[in-house]
């Protein structure tokens, strides 16, 4: 992502849109003032979906890749800031389009967000520190044009309802990977005493006397449902017991932050979470945990290209199932003080049979990347997707590399081929996009990945990190 702060000039108010005449690109600038009237300006290219990534495949990856903070923890952590009128400070927040979009959404509710600049001694890829203050919530509506771009933004409904006793939130958008309903989120809020109606594409939630603790049993494991239930219950009167809760590490990370803010959440990371409601939460400082999906993605990239890469900051216990699958496939994995080291030297990839499952099972968010890897395996693999019903959109794009994949319901059979050939490709969701990048790194010749907007939503400085390890990869901005 290119930053052009120097060209922008004076910024007078948050959220203003600036046009740069020299290259006619559109930028969003966000300014937040401190009491010293110093402006911190964060600039995000909003037309990055026009960019392409060009890869010339065949290079091994060797070196170190720093792992960023987890997008899937950073987003609910930022949303949790709505629960208190004190400031929540989050360290290690990744610089991603989804984070910038959530800043816009929170800004619309009246939240002030300051992004701290670089400090002496900061590493090149250091995550950003956000100071988030929801001292005055001036608007409890999350409008369609903001929420429709990112599904997780729907989750603001929980803290708004818990603290302000009302919320009006547009039904969500996000990645095109199935219908992704919000019925279980609504069910959880209703159990906590909310009155909910749907009108004109908006979910309207009210709890005039505040939320009340309740028993919530999810009929299926849902990350979004669990986040919403925990956040809402933290300010409810009485005790909430959440059964069949999601155990994902990001749920535990958010619960730890809530506890640092004065909440009383226990059992997060298991399938039974107990929340004792409190009257108010206070400020805290919390560091976002490392991104297990980013780490798993780069591990698969190294498995595919060969080489030897240190995933700095990656935590093996967050992605053990994926590491086990890679070892079955013949990849060398070792854990050290710095993180996880992944190597493949000469040996071919062995085929595997894998089913996605909620944590600690194999993550659906690594399914597309594993499929790309198995395209080059020595034999037939099977991958079954059990979380989302329509998460095979990458299959037809992988076919452009010469992949031989057949689908039977929720199972894909991948017959490995000797060599992938580079191709122009396009993707419709975040994880599918990166599977095409991985395939391109290993393919013979040139690959052009179109619509990289999806990559920018979830992978921080992807092309920089890969290039530093020897990949021939560049972003092309027309």
Task: Write out the catalytic residue numbers.
Answer: 175
CA distances from 166 to 144, 150, 209, 297, 328 (A): 17, 21, 10, 39, 50
* 3-class DSSP assignment, residue 285: strand
Asked if 230 touches ligand UD1 (CB under 6 A), the answer is no
Stretch that binds ligand UD1, among 57-65, 110-118, 219-227, 310-318 (CB under 6 A): 219-227
Binding residue for ligand UD1, selected from 220, 272, 280, 285, defined by CB under 6 A? 220
Q: Give the binding-site size for ligand UD1 (rule: CB under 6 A).
A: 21
Cis status of the peptide bond prior to 145, with omega within 30 of 0: no
Asked if 295 touches ligand UD1 (CB under 6 A), the answer is no
Asked if 307 touches ligand UD1 (CB under 6 A), the answer is no
> Which DSSP letter does residue 351 get?
P
Asked if 252 touches ligand UD1 (CB under 6 A), the answer is no
CA distances from 244 to 97, 219, 270, 358 (A): 31, 7, 9, 11
Considering the complex, what minimum distance in angstroms separates the CB of residue 15 from ligand UD1? 23
Nearer Cβ to ligand UD1, position 74 or 309? 74
Stretch that binds ligand UD1, among 26-34, 43-51, 86-94, 216-224 (CB under 6 A): 216-224
Q: Which of 58, 146, 72, 75 lies closest to 109 in space, CA to CA? A: 146
Is the Cβ–Cβ distance between 187 and 214 less than 8 Å? no
Write the binding mask 339 to 378 for ligand UD1: x where contact by CB under 6 A, - elsewhere. -------------------------xx-------------
Binding residue for ligand UD1, selected from 30, 298, 388, 459, defined by CB under 6 A? 388
Rounded Cα gap, residues 388 and 175, in angstroms:
11
CA distances from 28 to 94, 97, 311, 462 (A): 18, 12, 32, 22
How many Cβ atoms sit within 10 Å of the Cβ of residue 184? 19
Stretch that binds ligand UD1, among 218-226, 256-264, 397-405, 460-468 (CB under 6 A): 218-226
Binding residue for ligand UD1, selected from 387, 420, 425, 452, defined by CB under 6 A? 387
Write the binding mask 66 to 85 for ligand UD1: x where contact by CB under 6 A, - elsewhere. ------x--x----------
Binding residue for ligand UD1, selected from 182, 301, 314, 318, defined by CB under 6 A? 182
Stretch that binds ligand UD1, among 203-211, 223-231, 279-287, 320-328 (CB under 6 A): 223-231
Q: Strand locations in 200-345, DSSP E?
A: 202-206, 215-217, 239-243, 264-266, 272-276, 284-287, 307-312, 332-336, 339-344
Cis status of the peptide bond prior to 360, with omega within 30 of 0: yes
Write the binding mask 16 to 55 for ligand UD1: x where contact by CB under 6 A, - elsewhere. ----------------------------------------
Binding residue for ligand UD1, selected from 67, 105, 185, 326, defined by CB under 6 A? 185
Compute φ and ψ for 127, nearest 5 degrees.
Answer: -70, 165
Binding residue for ligand UD1, selected from 184, 325, 371, 383, defined by CB under 6 A? 184
Considering the complex, what minimum distance in angstroms separates the CB of residue 176 from ligand UD1? 13
Q: Does the CA dihedral 248-250-253-257 come out positive or negative? A: negative
Nearer Cβ to ligand UD1, position 189 or 403? 189
How many Cβ atoms sit within 10 Å of the Cβ of residue 165? 17
Stretch that binds ligand UD1, among 174-182, 255-263, 419-427, 464-472 (CB under 6 A): 174-182
Nearer Cβ to ligand UD1, position 203 or 304? 203
Binding residue for ligand UD1, selected from 9, 15, 117, 181, defined by CB under 6 A? 181
Rounded Cα gap, residues 76 and 124, in angstroms:
25
Stretch that binds ligand UD1, among 183-191, 281-289, 310-318, 367-375 (CB under 6 A): 183-191
Asked if 305 touches ligand UD1 (CB under 6 A), the answer is no
Please give the full DSSP string across 135-156, using - where no structure is assigned. S-----EE-HHHHTT-GGGGGG
Rounded Cα gap, residues 396 and 12, in angstroms:
47
> Which DSSP letter does residue 350 get?
P
Binding residue for ligand UD1, selected from 31, 214, 223, 434, defined by CB under 6 A? 223
Q: Which of 332, 331, 337 lies closest to 314 in space, CA to CA? A: 337
Rg of the chain in Å (alpha carbons): 22
Q: Please list every residue from 89 through 118 that binds ligand UD1, using CB under 6 A.
A: none
Residues that bind ligand UD1 (CB under 6 A): 72, 75, 151-152, 178, 180-185, 220, 222-225, 246, 364-365, 387-388
């Amino acid at each position: 992502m290119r930053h052009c702060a120097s060209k922008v000039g004076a910024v007078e108010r948050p959220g203003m849109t600036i046009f740069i005449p020299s290259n006619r690109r559109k930028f969003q600038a966000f300014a937040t003032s401190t009491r010293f009237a110093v402006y911190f300006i964060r600039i995000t290219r909003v037309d990055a979906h026009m960019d392409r990534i060009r890869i010339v495949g065949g290079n091994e990856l060797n070196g170190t890749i720093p792992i960023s903070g987890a997008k899937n923890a950073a987003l609910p952590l930022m949303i949790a800031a709505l629960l208190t009128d004190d400031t929540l400070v989050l360290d290690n927040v990744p610089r991603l389009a989804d984070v910038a979009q959530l800043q816009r959404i929170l800004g619309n509710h009246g939240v002030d967000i300051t992004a701290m600049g670089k400090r002496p001694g900061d590493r090149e890829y250091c995550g950003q520190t956000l100071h988030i203050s929801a001292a005055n919530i001036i608007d409890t509506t999350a409008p369609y044009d903001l929420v429709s771009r990112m599904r997780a933004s729907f989750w603001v409904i929980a803290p708004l309802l818990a603290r302000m006793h009302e919320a009006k939130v547009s039904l969500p958008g996000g990645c095109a990977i199935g219908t992704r309903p919000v019925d279980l989120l609504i069910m959880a809020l209703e159990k906590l005493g909310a009155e909910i109606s749907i009108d004109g594409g908006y979910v309207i939630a009210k709890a005039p006397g505040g939320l009340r603790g309740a028993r919530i049993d999810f009929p299926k494991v849902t990350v979004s449902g669990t986040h919403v239930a925990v956040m809402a219950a933290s300010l409810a009167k009485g005790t909430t017991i959440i059964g069949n809760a999601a155990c994902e590490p990001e749920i535990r990370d958010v619960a730890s932050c809530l506890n640092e803010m004065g909440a009383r959440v226990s059992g997060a990371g298991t399938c039974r979470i107990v929340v004792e409601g409190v009257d108010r939460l206070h400020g805290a400082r919390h560091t976002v945990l490392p991104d297990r999906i980013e780490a798993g993605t780069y591990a698969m990239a190294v498995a595919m290209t060969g080489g030897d890469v240190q995933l700095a900051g990656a935590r093996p216990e967050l992605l053990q199932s994926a590491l086990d699958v890679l070892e079955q496939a013949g990849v060398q994995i070792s854990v050290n003080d710095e993180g996880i080291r992944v190597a493949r030297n000469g040996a071919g990839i062995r085929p595997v049979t894998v089913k996605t499952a909620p944590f600690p099972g194999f993550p659906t968010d690594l399914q597309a990347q594993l499929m790309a890897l198995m395209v080059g395996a020595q034999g037939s693999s099977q991958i079954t997707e059990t979380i989302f019903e329509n998460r095979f959109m990458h299959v037809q794009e992988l076919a452009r590399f010469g992949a031989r994949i057949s689908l039977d319901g929720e199972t894909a059979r991948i017959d490995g081929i000797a060599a992938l050939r580079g191709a122009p490709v396009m993707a419709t969701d975040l994880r599918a996009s990166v599977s095409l990048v991985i395939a391109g790194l290993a393919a013979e010749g040139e690959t052009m990945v179109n619509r990289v907007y999806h990559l920018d939503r979830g992978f921080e400085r992807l092309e920089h990190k890969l290039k530093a390890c020897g990949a021939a990869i560049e972003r092309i901005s027309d």
